[in-house]
Amino acid sequence: MLGRVVSARCASAICYTSQALEVAAPPLTPLIERLVDALGADAVLWEPEDLAVYSFDAFSEDCLPAVAVLPRNARDVSAIVRIARDCGQPIVARGAGTGLCGGAVPVAGGVVVSFARMNRMLELDVPNRRAKAQPGVVNLELSKTAQPFELFFGPDPSSQKTSTLGGNVATNAGGPHALSYGSMINHVLGLEFVDDAGEVVRVSQDDAGYDLTAALVGSEGTLGIVTAIDLRLLRVPRALRVFIAAFGDVETASAAVSAIIASGTVPTALEIMDRTIVRAIESHYHAGFPLDVGAVLLVEIAGEPEDMVAGEAEIETIVRGHGALSWRSAADAAEREALWASRKGAAGALGRIAPNYYIQDATVPRTRLPQAVQRVEEIAKAHRLQVGNVFHAGDGNLHPLLLFDRRERRQVEAVVSAGTEILTACIALGGTISGEHGIGYEKRETLPYVFSANDLAAMGRVRDVFDVRRSFNPDKIFPSSASCAEVLPSRTA
């Protein structure tokens, strides 16, 4: 995020921002005054320099909010919603700001609600394998808290050291282990949220009636503001192995993954990294990935101790039969952890080879992986862009990283076009435009490529139930006929 200049490109934010900059000591707006009254001055930020950190996430857009607030509990959130509603201001909930699609960017200005102070574990119920957490709890913290009891939390997005459970709920986050454990939707047992009237509502998947929990997970902050989350924990597997297979190229590795899935074996993780990515992470982490190969496949199996030998043999046979150049097992837990840490740090390591990257997120049916990877390569080539591939192959979830330099206008334009072409190609292969990052601001205009007007209207009915005024995270997910800002992929690596 170095050298980021906060701009007010978004129409509705311009007016407030320019006012704030012009007047030396602006009188507090009624919005800010009321928030200070309700939450205390230390919970409310309104100076532009304080607001800058709430203006962006890991996507390229930045827009200053009118105010940022840091609630301590659901009652505070409820007050914020009521005040914002009275003042006609939109509300954007924010976790750690690691979202890749602009979901936390206040593109329409208004109030950003940061969960930095609502970061407590509320309950750990070991016998029933459940936890209750505030939305600001960092994903990895949950597993760390549960670990002494031989429990862990399934979803493990690469951002898990930073990203929060609230943000994970919003995007229906996944991660490498979604292959066997599923995404957030499969782990959220219930939610407490504040609705558009400021009421605190508690829902559970065990309630009689409509599954409102399922409706809220993945809704990207557009249906309510989550204030507590009930989560399912899993038992730490008694045996775990990690393997590395090397391949001549990504297509061959992808074909091997398709073959593993088709054989009816589902490992806990199947991750592919291409040469570009492997080189970047090896120079950064020295984890021991083979360097001079076209692609590396990371395989994890877990289960009962007596199943490990047969499990390895089965996958090794398939992988070798599909052109693997080598196959080896991680020696011990330390090496396994090192391999995983470097895999999850892949995007960060790219700073060594290009000033900027643009990460795409698309999913295809798993048998279509080789074609999808090939199309990505063709598209990148046609636009004269370098591409790195690091992805959740077992789920068919691609993450091509387009490398570029934002100072080069041609490259920026090429990245935008290539990104859209990749999504279109994945749709043509029977896939979709987000596997785990969400739609946010970035892909809202692409959503109609996947869903018809009727499909979107049905989703709109749900939105109407929860937020008819469109005050929760406006201008996200749903397409607009007139976009408020030019979208430039310009993430700094």
Binders of other proteins among 391-450, rule CB under 8 A? 392, 395-397, 430-439, 447, 450
Taking the complex as a whole, the smallest distance from the CB of residue 392 to other proteins amounts, in Å, to 7
Among 13, 31, 212, 339, binds other proteins (CB under 8 A): 212
d(CA 422, CA 287): 30
Q: Pick out residues in 153-172 that bind other proteins (CB under 8 A).
A: 171-172
Q: Pick out residues in 222-241 that bind other proteins (CB under 8 A).
A: 235
Beta strands in 294-385 (DSSP E): 295-303, 326-329, 356-359, 362-363
Q: How far are the Cα atoms of 226, 274, 311 from residue 245, in angstroms, in the given order?
A: 41, 12, 15
Phi-psi bin for 210: left (phi > 0), alpha (psi -120 to 50), beta? beta
Determine, following the binding rule CB under 8 A, whether residue 47 of this chain makes contact with other proteins: no
Among 3, 27, 148, 264, binds other proteins (CB under 8 A): 264
Measured from the CB atom, is 90 or 174 closer to other proteins? Answer: 174
Residues 6+ apart with CB under 8 A from 197: 81, 82, 85
Taking the complex as a whole, the smallest distance from the CB of residue 362 to other proteins amounts, in Å, to 9
Among 20, 121, 240, 459, binds other proteins (CB under 8 A): 459
User: What is the size of the binding site for other proteins (CB under 8 A)?
Assistant: 79
Region binding other proteins by CB under 8 A among candidate stretches 9-17, 20-28, 261-269, 346-354: 261-269
3-state secondary structure of 381: helix
Among 261, 315, 324, 418, binds other proteins (CB under 8 A): 261
d(CA 183, CA 71): 27
Determine, following the binding rule CB under 8 A, whether residue 314 of this chain makes contact with other proteins: no
Contact 94, 110 (CB under 8 A): no
Q: Which of 468, 465, 474, 437 minimizes the C-alpha distance to 175?
A: 437
Region binding other proteins by CB under 8 A among candidate stretches 7-15, 27-35, 365-373, 409-417: 365-373
Question: Which strands make up the sheet holding 130-133, listed edge to edge?
Answer: 121-125, 130-133, 225-232, 188-194, 200-204
Determine, following the binding rule CB under 8 A, whether residue 69 of this chain makes contact with other proteins: no
Taking the complex as a whole, the smallest distance from the CB of residue 324 to other proteins amounts, in Å, to 19
Determine, following the binding rule CB under 8 A, whether residue 123 of this chain makes contact with other proteins: no
Determine, following the binding rule CB under 8 A, whether residue 182 of this chain makes contact with other proteins: yes
Taking the complex as a whole, the smallest distance from the CB of residue 220 to other proteins amounts, in Å, to 8
Q: Pick out residues in 239-258 that bind other proteins (CB under 8 A).
A: 258
Q: Pick out residues in 316-355 that bind other proteins (CB under 8 A).
A: none
Taking the complex as a whole, the smallest distance from the CB of residue 208 to other proteins amounts, in Å, to 4
Helix (H) or strand (E) holding 30: helix 30-39
Measured from the CB atom, is 32 or 369 closer to other proteins? Answer: 369
Tokens, residue 326: 């080598």
- For residue 424, the one-letter residue type is T
Measured from the CB atom, is 35 or 426 closer to other proteins? Answer: 426
Among 14, 365, 374, 417, binds other proteins (CB under 8 A): 365
Measured from the CB atom, is 105 or 439 closer to other proteins? Answer: 439
d(CA 152, CA 489): 35
Residues 6+ apart with CB under 8 A from 35: 43, 44, 67, 69, 79, 80, 83, 111
Measured from the CB atom, is 68 or 447 closer to other proteins? Answer: 447
Taking the complex as a whole, the smallest distance from the CB of residue 385 to other proteins amounts, in Å, to 24
CA 480 vs. chain centroid, Å, equals 22
Among 14, 52, 121, 201, binds other proteins (CB under 8 A): 201
Helix (H) or strand (E) holding 255: helix 250-262
Region binding other proteins by CB under 8 A among candidate stretches 14-22, 34-42, 259-267, 370-378: 259-267
Measured from the CB atom, is 270 or 293 closer to other proteins? Answer: 270
Phi-psi bin for 29: left (phi > 0), alpha (psi -120 to 50), beta? beta
Among 52, 122, 185, 325, binds other proteins (CB under 8 A): 185
3-state secondary structure of 34: helix
Among 5, 23, 208, 482, binds other proteins (CB under 8 A): 208
Q: How far are the Cα atoms of 65, 184, 220, 409 from residue 437, in angstroms, in the given order?
A: 23, 12, 10, 26
Taking the complex as a whole, the smallest distance from the CB of residue 390 to other proteins amounts, in Å, to 15
Q: How far are the Cα atoms of 48, 172, 336 from residue 107, in angstroms, in the given order?
A: 15, 21, 41
Determine, following the binding rule CB under 8 A, whether residue 303 of this chain makes contact with other proteins: yes
Taking the complex as a whole, the smallest distance from the CB of residue 434 to other proteins amounts, in Å, to 4
Dmax over CA atoms of the chain, in Å, equals 72
Taking the complex as a whole, the smallest distance from the CB of residue 296 to other proteins amounts, in Å, to 21
Q: Pick out residues in 130-149 that bind other proteins (CB under 8 A).
A: 130
Measured from the CB atom, is 97 or 155 closer to other proteins? Answer: 155
Strand-strand pairing, 326-329 and 121-125: unpaired
